[in-house]
Amino acid sequence: EVQLVQSRAEVKKPGESLKISCKGSEYSFTNYYIGWVRQMPGKGLEWMGIIYPGDSDTRYSPAFQGQVTLSADKSINTAYLQWSSLRASDTAMYYCARLRAQGDFDYWGQGTLVTVSS
């Protein structure tokens, strides 16, 4: 069965850097975009961007352009979301999900909770 397994929860201080991961299995990882979605506490879903592990083609939501970096290592079927300098407002649950050609996200990771607090 297709699985996306995300890295564990993180607690960081403002200004610190962070890279979280999403490892895919049981499907051809290089043939599907991986999307990242933010969910702030008690709020809805926000699309951050997508990356195609096959060639690292990346598209960002304007709201997140310049704020985060998406990357992927196809040799280990893993996508990444990283911040160079965290803010308290980055506190949220972050999900990765597989994007199908139909434009929907059919498989989701379990989520990584990022808490940024001094």
Partner 1 sequence: EIVMTQSPATLSVSPGERATLSCRASQSISSNLAWYQQKPGQAPRLLIYGASTRATGIPARFSGSGSGTEFTLTISSLQSEDFAVYYCQQSHNWLLITFGQGTRLEIK
Instruction: Using CB under 8 A, list all residues that contact partner 1.
Output: 35, 37, 44-47, 50, 59, 61-62, 95, 97, 100, 102-106, 108-111
**With respect to partner 1, which residue has the nearer C-beta, 1 or 118?**
1
In the complex with partner 1, the residue whose CB is nearer, 27 or 108, is 108
Q: How far is the CB of 102 from partner 1 (least distance, A)?
A: 5
**Which DSSP helix (H) or strand (E) runs through 69?**
strand 69-73
Is the dihedral angle over the CA atoms 72, 52, 23, 105 positive or is it negative? Answer: positive
Q: Is the CB of 104 or the CB of 118 nearer to partner 1?
A: 104
Instruction: State in angstroms the smallest separation of the CB of 16 from partner 1.
Output: 26
Closest distance of CB 24 from partner 1, Å: 14
- Give the sign of the dihedral formed by CA 12, CA 45, CA 83, CA 51: positive
- In sequence order, the 6+-apart residues with CB closer than 8 A to the CB of 26 are 1, 2, 3
CB of 88 to partner 1, least distance (A): 23
Q: Using CA atoms, how far apart are residues 39 and 111, in angstroms rounded to an integer?
A: 10
